[in-house]
Amino acid sequence: MAEPDPDPIPTASSLRRRFARIMRIAAAFSLAIAALAVALVAWGSDEFHIHMLIATALGAGLTVLLGTALMSLAFLSNNSGHDDAAARSRAKDSE
């Protein structure tokens, strides 16, 4: 019986599914952070400015979403083995 490969390389479809799952979780987290930011701004201000609340929600939510997307792409790229060629060429340059 053949033994399974101890370090399997994930397929592109499995990476896409993992990224989609991470982004769904990140979108929910981003909405929660945006709501918290809007609540804190509304609570701390005596005047109610709708434009400031919209800008706060978009700024906080999209910042969290972008940061999560970039970090998850970096981790998925590392796990897929795409970074191995760059690491090997860097090791050759340092020798």
Q: Judge contact between 53 and 42, C-beta under 8 A.
A: yes
Tell me how far apart the alpha carbons of residues 86 and 17 are, in angstroms, rounded to a whole number: 25
pTM for the full predicted model: 0.71
Q: What is the mean pLDDT of residues 52-69?
A: 96
Q: Judge contact between 53 and 40, C-beta under 8 A.
A: no
pLDDT in tens, 11-55: 778 888 999 999 999 999 999 999 999 999 999 878 878 999 999
Within the chain, residue ranges assigned H as helices are 12-44, 50-80, 84-94
Q: Judge contact between 61 and 31, C-beta under 8 A.
A: yes
